[in-house]
Amino acid sequence: MRNGDSAVDSTAISLVRTTFKAVAAIEDGPARLTQSFYSVLFANNPDVREFFPAAMEAQRERLVHAIAYVIDQLDDPEPVLLFLAQLGRDHRKYGVVDAHYTAVGNALIFALKNFAGNEMWTDEVDNAWREAIALIASVMMEAANAEDGPATWTGTVVEHKQVLQDVAVVRLQLDRPMEYGAGQYVSVTVPGRPRMWRYLSPAIPANPEGQIEFHVRRVSGGWVSPAMVGQTNLGDTWLMGSPLGALGVDRTRNRDMLMIGSGTGIAPLRAQLMEMAMRANNPNVHVFVGGNYPCDLYDIETLWQLSLTNPWLTVVPVSEEDTNPWWHLDPIPTPPAGMYKRITGKVSAVAAEFGDWSNHDVQIVGSASTIQTAKFRLQAKGVPVENMRHDPLY
Ligand SMILES: Cc1cc2nc3c(=O)[nH]c(=O)nc-3n(C[C@H](O)[C@H](O)[C@H](O)COP(=O)(O)OP(=O)(O)OC[C@H]3O[C@@H](n4cnc5c(N)ncnc54)[C@H](O)[C@@H]3O)c2cc1C
Ligand code: HEM
């Protein structure tokens, strides 16, 4: 992997991977490594503690997961470098400066060395890790230092609509427009949940008026999403970081597209479809929209409307159950003439069986298990894994 003059050679990459895998294979390895990393980081750099939320149980593994993700992808530098540059720009929201990267790198090496033991942690391994971390940090720092746009945006809630018992559509007016690509996501904090950043995907394309819309599902037992869905008031202000992610229409590839979205995973797909609808030429797109119950397809009418006026777009609704739960009283919407009727089944299975997608660009959005199942099923049907894209799984 190469960035400017620095590079990590293939021997170093394999040493880094081997040690990381060995540590991950120890019982509770990743969790214990994370704990030890944060203990060392906070003990040696008490000022850094205040960047992190008071309660860190739920998401403390994210930083270490990201490093694992990067290490896993080191052979394919382009997407990793893009990911790290975005992450670096986004990390400006914490107030991170260059010196913090040294502190994080040292804490990680200390924790890893402690776990790997002297036998595995040779000088060569030590050098390989230092090179890898230096490169990761330099890409993040360079991108952050080169960015002169705002580190955060403030959005004022102008509409909050509960479209399902556990899903809300929230519209906000930003203090200044944000130039995100349709399909990207941003990290968000809400009042009452300080420093607890969560990712949300805008459901409409960026616009010069600075309007933004999110679809949020309440995760039961979650720290932040229940507040977003159940305790949001008009006039509340949400804070947002820089855009992240690489989902989008790749017009250089000139391929038709398959999109699979389940639940609020429809948001980044909808933003892309809306943006495509503003252009004259588009690839053909099949979008499969999934949920447990028919009512979980809360946005199907918008997609049908888009499809009615855009012949390149085919919408296939899918739900695991054929009827709504008894407490949901609204009738199941009927598709307009010429549109596919809802199919009963799991969205990944229905999409995989529906046609030949081996030459399509594929995007999958939803929970980690939806993404993994869809990838597995599509691969079994001959779709090359390099044609499938999804956001990083944390
Ligand atoms: C790239 C990306 C884009 C995202 N976009 C959206 C979006 O547009 N709309 C949206 O509603 N959410 C989205 N999410 C999920 C969101 O960022 C939060 O993870 C989610 O809202 C849970 O946060 P929480 O604080 O309520 O739960 P936490 O307090 O973080 O977690 C509580 C518990 O719930 C589990 N958990 C976390 N998330 C889920 C989940 N999705 N399903 C089941 N269990 C879970 C955790 O493992 C933990 O055990 C996105 C996530 C990613 C990675
Ligand atoms: C070494 C390279 C680093 C990588 C790959 C990395 C990666 C990540 C990722 C992926 C997340 C979760 C998503 C997010 O909120 O953006 C995260 C969170 C965070 N990172 Fe970093 N990071 C790095 C360095 C740093 C440094 C130097 C600091 C400053 C001390 C820092 C502080 C934080 C904080 C405060 C969070 C929020 C954690 C939480 O919500 O629990 N990170 N990091």
Position 344 in a domain: yes
Cβ atoms 243, 233 nearer than 8 A? no
Q: Are residues 261 and 174 in the same domain?
A: no
Q: Give the ligand with the smallest distance to the CA of 71.
A: 2
Nearest to 261 by CA among 226, 213, 224, 298: 298
220: Cα separation from own chain's centroid: 20
Residue 250, in any domain of the structure? no
Cβ atoms of 365 and 290 within 8 Å: the answer is no
Highest mean pLDDT among 95-109, 120-134, 175-189: 175-189
Cβ atoms < 10 Å from Cβ of 90 = 25
User: Whose C-alpha lies nearest to ligand 2, atom 9?
Assistant: 63
65 and 128 part of one domain: yes
Residues having CB within 6 Å of any atom of ligand 1: 58-59, 185, 198-201, 214-217, 219, 221-225, 264, 267, 367, 391, 394
300 and 199 in a single domain? The answer is no
Residues 233 and 273 placed together within one structural domain of the fold: no
| Tokens linked to 84 | 């790290």
Nearest CA to ligand 1 atom 38: 219
pLDDT in tens, 310-368: 999 999 999 999 999 998 888 899 999 999 999 999 999 999 999 999 999 999 999 98
Residue whose Cα lies nearest atom 21 of ligand 2: it is: 63
Same domain for 123 and 94: yes
Position 266 scores a pLDDT of 97
SS (H, E, C) the chain: CEECCEECCHHHHHHHHHHHHHHHHCCCHHHHHHHHHHHHHHHHCHHHHHHCCCCCCCCCCHHHHHHHHHHHCCCCHHHHHHHHHHHHHHHHHHCCCHHHHHHHHHHHHHHHHHHHHHHHCCHHHHHHHHHHHHHHHHHHHHHHHHCCCCCCEEEEEEEEEEEECCEEEEEEEECCCCCCCCCCEEEEECCCCCCCCEEECCCCCCCCCCEEEEEEECCCCCCCHHHHHHCCCCCCEEEECCCECCCCCCCCCCCCEEEEEEHHHHHHHHHHHHHHHCCCCCCCEEEEEEECCHHHCCCHHHHHHHHHHCCCEEEEEEECCCCCCCCCCCCCCCCCCCCCCCEECCHHHHHHHHCCCCCCEEEEECCHHHHHHHHHHHHHCCCCHHHEECCCCC
> Is 236 inside any structural domain?
yes
Nearest protein CA to atom 1 of ligand 2, as residue: 137
Neighbour count for residue 337 (Cβ, 10 Å): 6
For residue 60, pLDDT beyond 80: no
72 vs 316: CA distance, rounded Å? 34
CA 65 – ligand 2 centroid, Å? 10
Last residue of a domain, one of 209, 240, 271: 240
Question: Considering only CA atoms, which residue is closest to atom 7 of ligand 2?
Answer: 63
Tell me how far the alpha carbon of residue 166 lies from the centroid of ligand 1, in angstroms: 13
Whether residue 301 is contained in a domain is answered as yes
* Residue 161 contacts residue 215 (beta carbons within 8 Å): no
| For ligand 1, atom 52: residue with the closest CA | 199
Model confidence at 394, pLDDT cuts 50, 70, 90, reads: low
Over pLDDT 90: what percentage of the chain?
71
Q: Which residue of 186, 199, 394 sits with most ligand 1 atoms within 8 Å of its CB, as the best mutation to test the pocket?
A: 199
Both 48 and 132 in a single domain? yes
Q: Which atom of ligand 2 is nearest to the CA of 67?
A: 5
Residue 63 has pLDDT above 80, yes or no: no
What CATH number does residue 32 fall under?
Answer: 1.10.490.10
d(CA 224, CA 217): 10
210 inside domain: yes
Task: Report residue 235 as tokens.
Answer: 């006039």
* Nearest ligand to the C-alpha atom of residue 197: 2
Q: Are residues 293 and 381 in the same domain?
A: yes
**In this predicted structure, what is the pLDDT of residue 51?**
87
How far apart are the C-alpha atoms of 34 and 308, rounded to whole Å?
A: 50
Residue 247 domain flag: no
**pLDDT band (50, 70, 90) for residue 278:** very high
Q: Does residue 53 have a pLDDT over 90?
A: no
What spacing in Å lies between the alpha carbon of 20 and ligand 2's midpoint?
18
Mean pLDDT of the chain: 91
Q: Whose CA is closest to atom 2 on ligand 1? A: 199
- What's the CA-to-centroid distance between 117 and ligand 1, angstroms? 35
- Tell whether 236 and 274 lie within a shared domain: no
Residue in 337, 284, 338, 345 with CA at minimum distance from that of residue 317: 345
Q: Can you give the pLDDT at residue 254? A: 85
> Is 218 found in the same domain as 169?
yes
Count up the domains in the chain and report the number. Answer: 3
Residue 13 CA to ligand 1 centre (angstroms): 31
Between the CA of 158 and the centroid of ligand 2 the distance, in Å, is 30
Chain centroid to Cα 205, Å, comes to 17
- Protein residues with CB under 6 Å of any ligand 2 atom: 48, 51-53, 56, 59-60, 62-63, 66-67, 87, 90-91, 94, 96, 100-101, 104, 136-137, 140, 187, 197
Domain that holds residue 209: 153-240
Ligand 2 centre distance from Cα of residue 63 (Å): 5
Domain boundary residue among 85, 117, 146? 146
Given 125, 146, 167, which residue is the final one in a domain?
Answer: 146
326 falls within a domain: yes
User: Are 131 and 159 in the same domain?
Assistant: no
CATH code of the domain containing 165:
2.40.30.10
Lay out the sheet containing 285-291: strands in order across.
Answer: 343-344, 313-319, 285-291, 257-262, 361-365, 388-389
Q: At 3, is the pLDDT very low, low, confident or very high (cuts 50, 70, 90)?
A: low
- Token look-up 């490093």 returns 67
pLDDT at 69: 79
Residue having the nearest C-alpha atom to atom 19 of ligand 2:
63
Note whether residue 248 is domain-resident.
Answer: no
* Whether residue 65 sits in one domain with residue 200: no
Do residue 141 and residue 21 come from a single domain? yes
Cα–Cα dist 259/289, whole Å = 8
pLDDT digits (tens, 9 = 90+) for 210-267: 999 999 999 999 999 999 999 999 999 999 999 999 999 998 888 999 999 999 999 9
